[in-house]
Amino acid sequence: MPESDQRPTVRLTLEDGVAELVLDRPDKMNAMNGAMVRALSDSLDAAEAGGARALLVRGEGRAFCSGRDLADADPLHEDGEAILRDVFNPLMTRMAGLAVPTIAAVHGACLGTGLGLALACDIAYAADDARIGSPFARIGAVLDSGAHAAFVARVGPHRALELVYTGRLLSGREAAEWGLVNRSVAGADLVRRTREMARAIAHGPTAAFLESKRIVRLIQDGSPSIADLLAAEAAAQGRASRSHDYQDGIAAFQEKRKPAFTGR
């Protein structure tokens, strides 16, 4: 069946500032094919353009995402570099740089490109029994989708290479203990907990949050000097000080009332 004739593989809703992006290919454990990657990219554009102030990403069915759909892979002829460069890497870059606070709710399998997508989000919560890691040792492939950087930064080079060499999958609880994800929760509570967080973030001073997101990315990408970092923070504070949220937030503190943040 042509990709264009298949049912939608992604759902996007936007309500009260919260966008919810659902990977909806449960019969394939949300494995990503070309149509799904395009739908995800389009949905990120739509969430940003629609004024989302927080984005929750989750999967339907038994898994968050089991990675690239290998059903149509052609190992004798395909160009692995081109597949990543042209198909998957732009999606990971788009997710990491989205001008919206992002949260991943991970359950079941979170592997390969699915792992990259989750780790490209600002915050990741996992179900206690999720299965997270690098299965590439089993197929002779290289860990991809930015996971090398996340592994080294979050669990250290020695544990990163252990996960790569052994193909060991961490439970959600282990991933949280190692610092690979923010927190693990009971699977039955995962969607509720992450939705609550998304709503709380969306009702906060999201323009200021995005300034911090940019500064964190600056640190990750360039290891700025303390002088450069302080200058970046000062410039961000200057932009924030001209916003409604800054002005109302400080006024509310002085007046002992709750601020009315608008994200502007």
- Per-residue confidence in pLDDT tens, the chain, 264 aa: 444 447 889 999 999 999 999 999 999 999 999 999 999 999 999 999 999 999 999 999 999 999 999 888 888 888 999 999 999 999 999 999 999 999 999 999 999 999 999 999 999 999 999 999 988 888 899 999 999 999 999 999 999 999 999 999 999 999 999 999 999 999 999 999 999 999 999 999 999 999 999 999 999 888 899 999 999 999 999 999 999 999 999 999 999 999 999 998
Beta-carbon contacts of 232 under 8 Å, excluding residues fewer than 6 positions away, are: 215, 218, 224
What's the burial of 229, exposed, middle or buried (CB within 10 Å: 0-12/13-18/19+)?
middle
pLDDT of residue 222: 85
Cβ atoms within 10 A of the Cβ of 261, count? 21
pLDDT of residue 129: 98
For residue range 240-257, what is the model confidence (pLDDT) as tens digits?
999 999 999 999 999 999
pLDDT of residue 158: 97
pLDDT of residue 75: 85
pLDDT of residue 5: 43
> Domain residues of the chain, as ranges?
3-202, 206-255
Max CA separation in the chain (angstroms)? 69
Out of 3.90.226.10, 3.90.190.20, 3.30.565.10, 3.40.50.1370, select the CATH number for domain 3-202: 3.90.226.10
Cβ atoms within 10 A of the Cβ of 37, count? 20
pLDDT of residue 2: 45
Distance from C-alpha of 58 to C-alpha of 46, rounded to nearest angstrom = 17
- Residue 264, CB half-sphere, CA atoms under 13 Å: how many? 4
Q: Does residue 141 contact residue 117 with C-beta atoms inside 8 Å?
A: no
What global pTM score does this model have?
0.93
Q: Domain 206-255 has what CATH class?
A: mainly alpha
For residue range 85-104, what is the model confidence (pLDDT) as tens digits?
999 999 999 999 999 999 99
pLDDT of residue 190: 98
Distance from C-alpha of 120 to C-alpha of 11, rounded to nearest angstrom = 19
pLDDT of residue 23: 98
Tokens for 39?
A: 């739908």
